[in-house]
Amino acid sequence: MSEYSPKPGRDCMPTDNPAQQPKPPADDYQKCSDLPVTTPPTLPDPEKCPDPPPECKCPKPPTNTADCLQKAIDKLTVKLAHADKAKTFKADLETRRQKATTAAQQYTQDAYEKLLKRWQEEDHAIVELIRKLTCAVPCWRCLIECYVCPILNALHDNEQRLYGSATLPATVNNLYDLQYWLTRDAAAKDATVARITKVMDAWASPAATIDGVLNANSALLASCNQNLGTTPGSIVFDVFLKLVPMHLAIAPPAADPATTTGIDKSYTVFCGGDVGKPDDCCGPDTGVLSLRQRILGPQPYLVKPGELFSIICCLVEKRYHPAKDAATDAAALLTATNEEITGRQNQLDAGLKSFNTDGRAAIPTQPECCDSSYDAQKQPK
């Protein structure tokens, strides 16, 4: 990398504040916190109807009704859902184990060292490109903030209108409230499974994936250098929204100066509203990603070969499997609630139609419902 002197007022390098790099694998993933648990609010009992007048000797109502059978059905629904999912999940894990074994065979120490060397060379080249670009286009940040960030802000606004903070109501008043709560909860859990699945898929073949990213970055870097003198403004997007983020996505954890990027953190901080909610206890981020992270997609990064299975096992045990179980429970609860709504609506509709018949048939032929102390004078004449 060529030597240079930063120019006053210019956003030139070098840096002592390196950009963020991926986290190293967990030393002991048993210490990894569990996924948050959500529990549906308790549905209140219907408002109790008034008791019969004290002079009426009504028969004692049954203590058990069809509701007890429904509760038993609901429990079995959850058990059966887990049984069906367990078979599919077992097959999925067996496939992933085969892929992980193949990946470990390909991701050798020699392959790792060659990929790491290429990444380090690419890091130096990107630092030099940023130096030239920011000196050629001093207002590079304003180009992003004025023209690119509004696009991300519009996407962010749409997402907020759709999902808000994703906080569900703390109380429900009826079955339809509970149905809404469970529908949102099930959708959130499905999204968590989908998010973690993408991370799992990214680590299925790290050597080949990282090699492909380095090749694509190399081609983009060459194109940016070639066109810097003619269209520097148009290169701002490619460098700061594509090249740098992807380069840092596959970066090794910054364990020592040799693996610490030379890219200053300031070249990655813009569009302030686009932030995620990291969950990187296993190393890879399985949390809610920012819009820019979602556009890039999860990527494997340069860890030592011996740490590959630690990452995969942590993801499976602490994130993938629990997320699958939580999604299964949520789907089963929603199914049970949907069935209860249908059943109770059918009972209501049918009961209204048959009320005259049911009411007449419910009165015994020889009624004995009056207390002996009942004042006969109060009876209508």
Residue 165 pLDDT: 84
pLDDT tens column, 198-252: 999 999 999 999 999 999 999 999 999 999 989 888 899 999 999 999 999 999 9
Is the model's pLDDT at 148 over the cut of 60? yes
Q: How confident is the model at residue 66, as a pLDDT?
A: 61
Which of 37-46, 91-100, 140-149 has the highest average model confidence (pLDDT)? Answer: 140-149
Mean pLDDT over all residues of the chain? 88
pLDDT score of 42 more than 70: yes
pLDDT at site 4 = 34
* Residue 160 amino acid letter: Q
What does the pLDDT average to over 115-122? Answer: 97
Q: What is the mean pLDDT of residues 320-335?
A: 91
- Give the pLDDT mean for 37-66: 82
What the block records as the tokens of 161 is 């209108």
Q: pLDDT of 163-185, one tens digit each? A: 888 889 999 999 999 999 999 99
Q: What is the pLDDT of residues 272-304, one digit of tens each?
A: 989 999 999 999 999 999 999 999 999 999 999
Q: Is the pLDDT of residue 10 over 60?
A: no
Which pLDDT score is estimated for 298? 97
Q: Full-prediction pTM beyond 0.95?
A: no
Phi, psi of 209 (to 5 degrees): -65, -45
Sorting pLDDT into bands at 50, 70 and 90, what band is 378?
low
Q: Where are the domains of the chain?
A: 75-164+172-349
pLDDT of residue 79 exceeding 50, the answer is yes
Residue 129 in tokens = 């490109």
